Amino acid sequence: MRIKPDIENKSLTRKIFGFNELLKRTRLDVIEEKPLTLFLNDQEVVTMMTVNDHPKYLALGYLLNQNMISNRTKIDSIEYYEDLMTVVVRTKSKTDYQKKLKKKTVTSGCAQGTLFGDILESFEKIKFKNNSKLKISWIYELSKKINLTPSLYLKAGAIHGCVLCEKDKPLIYMEDVGRHNAIDKIAGYMFLKKVKSLNKIFYTTGRLTSEMVIKAVKMKIPIVISRSGFTAWGVELARKANLTLIGRAKGKKFVVLSGEKRLNEFGK
């Protein structure tokens, strides 16, 4: 993998003491959760609760997925101030997102994710073609490789993982206290590294909600796999966009909820 969870980074977890079911004192690892304030040029946008391992990727991905910047936006600089827990994204052109701040929908993200109204309004215009293909064997291989990768989830729990994949190979594995943060970090990485998306697969350990579907479509990733469940609206949006949505992928079992023609077994 190009990026995978850094379980040796001591700033991401903390040792605490508690009592187990036998009422014996025990020591365990817990995830650190920190506030990170994001500025776009001179205006404050949001304060996010995050594990804070890739603040610059998170900041860029958030702005991209909220339509505050686009893939054409020229970035002057991304400045992270650790002492202030602040990241500032500066662009060459002026930005105006006050209207977006007035019209927003609070989503089901674990740390109060938000989607702004214009994203929902433009969603109807997006529909994937069936050019990309998916082999069932890739689903099994990805689940196995990702589940066996050392992670903060295995170390401490209370965290979600999102993985950018190509065929049966995991490429970028991000974790965060909110799954929307994890996918935003991947979006920021893809923007900076100019990673192509239409031949990629997105895997998440979290549930497939409307927010996750919308962000995957916004990132132009046509296939999404989760070992967890899904919401009715998430499935409905996936079908409108012709996104391949696969849930409950555990062991040799899974459920295809939309875009089944991309599976080789259907598309022959």
Q: Domain containing 153: what range? A: 136-180+191-267
How is residue 235 written in tokens? Answer: 């499935």
Domain count, the chain: 1
Classify residue 77 by burial, with Cβ atoms within 10 Å: 0-12, 13-18, 19+.
exposed
Q: Is 211 inside a domain boundary? A: yes
Q: Which among 36, 34, 32 has a CA at the least distance from the CA of 12? A: 32
For the chain, list residues with pLDDT below 70: 96-123, 266-268
pLDDT of residue 108: 46
Q: Is 36 inside a domain boundary? A: no
In this prediction the pTM is 0.91
Q: Is 62 inside a domain boundary? A: no
Classify residue 159 by burial, with Cβ atoms within 10 Å: 0-12, 13-18, 19+.
buried
pLDDT of residue 21: 96
Domain CATH code at residue 238? 3.40.140.10
Q: Is 253 inside a domain boundary? A: yes
Over residues 109-128, the pLDDT tens digits come to: 554 455 555 666 666 778 99
Q: Is 13 inside a domain boundary? A: no
- Cα–Cα distance, 255 to 237 (Å, whole number): 16
Tell me the C-alpha to C-alpha distance, in Å, between residue 228 and each of 206, 245, 255. Answer: 6, 12, 10
pLDDT of residue 111: 44
* Identity of the residue numbered 245: L
Q: Is 48 inside a domain boundary? A: no
pLDDT of residue 151: 97
Q: Is 251 inside a domain boundary? A: yes
Q: Is 23 inside a domain boundary? A: no
pLDDT of residue 67: 86
pLDDT of residue 8: 95
